[in-house]
Structure 1
Amino acid sequence: MISVSSQHKLFQETYERLWPQVYQYAYYRLQSKEEAEEISQEVFRKVFQQVKKGNIEEEKIRAYIFAALRNTIYDTWRQKGRSPKIVELDQVSEKNTFTSENQKIEENMMVREALKKLPEVYQQVVVWRIVEGYPLQEVAERLGKPVGTVKSLQFRGVKKLKEILEEGGYFNG
């Protein structure tokens, strides 16, 4: 068991290092700054309690945080009787009149909608690896899975995403 001062130091360092990533993922999933902040704070509160009890090994704290984050987001959705928000195309600013820019927005929205149709584990891997650009090792740590499994999930997720886009007539080839 680590000392109280070491526990606080571990928590503080972890908080400073991971807060931006935790908040960013929560915001991506919830599409609300307030909810993302609330959920992120709740996750770190839970983690701190577990660190104080000595229930989390230092090398596994990152995986624990992201597992707690996913579970807390799911709990929030269940409590509110909702599923992930999808930004509607008509919510995008109409001030932008450039056709190519509008086309990019439409394509972005189609991909977001298609992403929401992926099974959760594929969705997480595709978002973290491709959208957010995290390295394989980091995604593997977040999910608590081997790197080889993450590679496989990414391949299958991209393949499934392509199928969804093709079925919707958004992608041919």
Structure 2
Amino acid sequence: MFRLTALLPTRVLAASFAVAVAGWTAAAGAQDSLPCSARATAETIYLPAYSEVPSSDRGRVQFASTVLVHNVDPDTDLVLTRVSYHDASGAKVRDMLGEETPLAPFASFSAVVDVTDRSGGIGANFIIEWRAETASLSPIAEAVMLGSRGTQGFAIGTEGRTIRRTPAPCPQD
């Protein structure tokens, strides 16, 4: 998903955020009733991000990018094993995770690429890897980009896509 919107007054943003969180919470609850085959013990997630976007006047809008990983499984700890930032050519720019990081149920991880960092370009992305000791719901991986130009502010939100998955072993019926 790709959204580019002008920043709205704080009250409108807060109401929109509350609606979005309610939707995410409902979706996470719906996943809880999924069969074992819908769970995994490890995944690799591709998360698009943008450190800059061309504008209509041939300039560019610079963005700060925040990567967020939310453990939505109410019963299972996850371990983040990799969060890396890549440029538009696919080359790794830097590791965003110093060491493996555990995420308890409903815990989150975040890291920021500063607005002055232009190394990613328009096709920047994050690669996220996680594992769990037991079958787990997939985490939610998102990027939020904020930028401004003159008096106008911009926000972009993207969601990750699983590109590699180790399915959970399921008992035979």
TM-score by shorter chain over 0.5: no
Q: Normalising by structure 1, what TM-score?
A: 0.28
Structure with greater helix share of residues: 1
Higher RCO (C-alpha under 8 Å, 6+ residues apart): 2
Q: Normalising by structure 2, what TM-score?
A: 0.28
Structure with greater strand share of residues: 2
